[in-house]
Amino acid sequence: MCGIAGVLGGDVAVVGPMIAALAHRGPDGVRIETLGTAGVAHARLSIIDLDGGWQPLHAAGATVIGNGEAYNYVELSQDFGLTLATGSDFEPLLHLAAREGEAAIGRLRGMYGLCLIGADGRTWLARDPFGIKPLYIMQHGAGPAFASEPRAFFAAGLMAPVLDADPARELLDLNFVLGERTLFQGLRRLAPGEVVEVRGGRIVSSHRRPPLALLPRREDDGGGGGEAAGGGVKPQAPSSPPRAPSTASRSPSPALFGAGEERALIRRLDAVLEDSVRVHQRSDVPYGLFLSSGIDSAAIATLMARLNARPVTAFTCGFDAPGAADERAQAERVARALNLDWRETRFGEADFWRILPQVAWALDDPTADYATLPTYKLAEAAKGALTVVLTGEGGDELFAGYGRYRRALRPAWLGGRPAEPRGARPQVLAAWRDAARPPRGLTPLQQAQWADIVTWLPGDLLLKLDRCLMAHGLEGRTPFLDREVAAFAFNLPDRFKVRGGHGKWLLRKWLERECPAARPWARKQGFTVPVDAWIAPRAADIAQRIGQVAAVRQVLGDEAAARMRGGRPGQKWPLLFFAVWALIHLEGASPKDALTTIVGETG
């Protein structure tokens, strides 16, 4: 885990200030190299091969700098008989690129934003298929520039931070920005799975690998979706399983499907999850996990406890606020059952006002998801005890855990409605529908899952995880978003995802056996951060000031003050966050001054 930056043509001197702006991502040191007309730089957070894994890394005539992890580096070395000079997880890519060129990138099992320079001078920029790790690109005079965060381009004077109003409207309506665009004119993200080829300082090709594990597979591969993508498969009809009993402590009634099939799938689930957690634990530094009250992190904790002889360190955040959902009691129950080294951290109103501007600074490419706040606090608490943190992102999307998926399968007369954003302006909703369009051959349930996997997951959840942890020099890892787990989970027949009012059916059945303390059949506790309650006493004063922020006026005009005084529930936080963000990243204010400008003194 680290930060990378570079220019592929032009003034290589700009690489120094670019990587200096990313020092928080790589607190262990910086290395800069000039390679012909290219300049590349790497700020390192040492995880694997602490002494020999410094980048840029050279082998077989090729060079790589990468942000992330290639978890299958051991298997790649063995399978291809590679002789390695280091223990770095990125070195096998260099040897394979010498044989296969760009195709070698597709062999990586992991998360990455990388720059690979081949022996023949061809250069590739690439991002992992789920978009776990970020990578940004802009075109300037003599060739493309790239970096792990937008701030690098501004620090080097390659561009000025000028707001793009349309993505800003998406942020205020959806809490995240769709697709490749950012809030800055002239700067884009590489899309998840995108590979850009550069020759002679010019982009000659760009194409995307969708999350290949998510495309429909043949029945004999264990899936339920049909032939390969584009093969014209017949969508599977949603099942109508029996309703679960009301008790939350027992699993629903036995399935009306073959018990042997279910047992076989549970065994296979156990195998793929254990394998994923095992490789995600590959690290030469301390690792642990973030534990919530939900079943996704409980599943990761269960397997980590199985695979480690010593108690695994787990951190949980709870809220000190009346009426707020507090996850600590259930997390502690799981921690005791698994003998975890469990540590709790508390989040109160004082934390809210202190952390808000720090999160706005960290999220130079923003998401207005209020879950950034406890994630930042957890990272703050874990710093010093851990360097690598495993989390449960991706479990709901791959195993179909969200209630909106189940609503999308019901007829309208039973309260069914599409799994689409609610309350978005027509143009924003149209943009979301275009970005979420699924490939052919998916069932209605898979279509709803796909929409989240290609919009909400990279634009919100994974962006949140990257920025909030990297602000503290921590690496976040997501075992559910492993290609083997994804291939298994997404392609399960619908009836093993949604049944009897429960999503994540098969995962719950597995967890019922492996960790009953997780209470897998309990009603899902909604995750909320009481931001509206903390903002409300100051809302009138904030409304007077917020309309004076240039970016807010550009996007909302006179509507801003009305939203802050009496808008719909949930509208105040995104607007407050955007105003503080804009002052920091567009006008150059310090985090503290940005908050004071909007809110006044907070004590």
Mind listing the pLDDT tens digit for each residue in 319-348? 987 767 788 999 999 999 999 999 999 999
| pLDDT, tens digit, 9 for 90 and up, residues 185-211 | 999 999 999 999 999 889 999 998 877
* Residue of 10, 52, 64, 2 lying closest to 30 (CA atoms): 2
- Give the pLDDT confidence of 367-395 residue by residue, as tens digits: 999 999 999 999 999 999 999 999 999 99
What does the pLDDT look like over 555-573, one tens digit per residue? 999 899 888 987 677 889 9
Average pLDDT over residues 466-494: 96
Q: How confident is the model at residue 526 (pLDDT cuts 50, 70, 90)?
A: low
The region that residue 60 occupies, defined by phi over 0 for left and psi between -120 and 50 for alpha, beta otherwise, is left
* Closest by Cα among 306, 301, 282, 374 to 342: 301
pLDDT (0 to 100) of residue 223: 36
Task: Retrieve residue 196's tokens.
Answer: 């850009």
Taking 60 as the threshold, does the pLDDT of residue 220 lie above it? no
pLDDT attached to residue 52: 86
Q: How far is CA 13 from CA 16, 38, 39, 148, 199, in A?
A: 6, 10, 8, 18, 20
Tokens coding 427: 């143009």
For 509-550, list the strands marked E by DSSP.
none
Confidence band for 213, pLDDT divided at 50, 70 and 90: low
- Domains annotated on the chain, with CATH: 2-209 (3.60.20.10), 244-518 (3.40.50.620), 531-599 (no CATH)
**Cβ distance 451 to 436 under 8 Å?**
yes
Residue 503 has pLDDT above 60, yes or no: yes
For the chain, the average pLDDT equals 90
DSSP annotation of 473 reads T
For residue 516, the Cα-to-chain-centroid distance in whole angstroms is 28
User: Residue 433 burial by CB count (10 A; 0-12/13-18/19+): exposed, middle or buried?
Assistant: middle
Residue 569 in tokens: 């529930």
Token pair 């995802």 in the structure block, residue: 497
Write 138-142 long-range contacts (CB < 8 A, 24+): 138/186, 138/187, 138/188, 139/203, 140/7, 140/10, 141/10, 142/7, 142/9, 142/10, 142/11, 142/37, 142/201
Distance CA 17, CA 474 (A): 22
Helix (H) or strand (E) holding 281, with range, is none
The per-residue DSSP string of 295-328 comes to HHHHHHHHHHHHH-SSPPEEEEEEE-STT----H
> 123 - beta bridge partners?
117, 198
d(CA 524, CA 527): 9
Cα–Cα distance for residue pair 130/190, rounded to 1 Å = 11
- Is the pLDDT confidence value at 239 over 70? no
Does the pLDDT of residue 127 top 60, yes or no?
A: yes
Band the pLDDT of 536: cuts 50, 70, 90: very high
Contacts of residue 209, defined as CB under 8 A and 6 or more positions apart, other chains included, come to 106, 129, 193, 194, 195
**Mean pLDDT score, 148-161:** 98
User: What is the reported pLDDT for 212?
Assistant: 65
- Please check the confidence at residue 222 and state whether its pLDDT lies above 50: no
pLDDT at site 527: 67
pLDDT at residue 496 greater than cutoff 70: yes
Task: Evaluate if residue 50 carries a pLDDT over 60.
Answer: yes
Coil, helix or strand for 548? coil
Q: Residues, the chain, total?
A: 603
Q: Which residues pair with 34 in a beta bridge?
A: 39
Name the residue type at position 46: S
User: In sequence order, what are the beta bridge partners of 5?
Assistant: 41, 147
Q: Are residues 238 and 443 in contact, defined by beta-carbon separation less than 8 angstroms?
A: yes
Q: Tell whether the model's pLDDT for residue 103 goes beyond 70.
A: yes
In the prediction, which pLDDT does 179 show? 95
Q: What are phi and psi for residue 392, nearest 5 degrees? A: -100, 10
Mean pLDDT for the stretch of residues 471-480: 97
pLDDT of residue 243: 29
Contact yes or no for 595/353 (Cβ under 8 A): yes
What's residue 602's pLDDT? 81
What is the token pair recorded at 407?
């609503």
Percent composition of the chain: helix, strand, coil (DSSP 3-state, to 5): 45, 15, 40
The DSSP-derived string for 158-209 is SS---B-HHHHHHHHHHSS--TTB-SBTT-EEPPTTEEEEEETTEEEEEEE-
545 pLDDT above the threshold of 60: yes
- Model confidence at 596: pLDDT above 50: yes
Residue pair 495/397 in contact (Cβ under 8 Å)? The answer is no
Interatomic CA distance for residues 289 and 388, integer angstroms? 8
What confidence tier does 54 reach under pLDDT thresholds 50, 70, 90?
very high
What would the mean pLDDT of 146-159 be, rounded to a whole number? 98
| Count of other CB atoms within 10 angstroms of residue 58 | 15
Q: Which amino acid is at 331?
A: A
Give the Cα separation of 142 and 9 in Å (integer): 5
Q: Do β-strands 202-208 and 194-199 pair in parallel, antiparallel, or remain unpaired?
A: antiparallel
User: 83 Cβ partners below 8 Å, 6+ apart?
Assistant: none
Q: Which amino acid is at 41?
A: A
Report the pLDDT value the prediction gives residue 107, as an integer from 0 to 100: 95
Measured CA distances, 165 to 189, 266, 366, 548, 551 (Å): 17, 48, 14, 16, 8
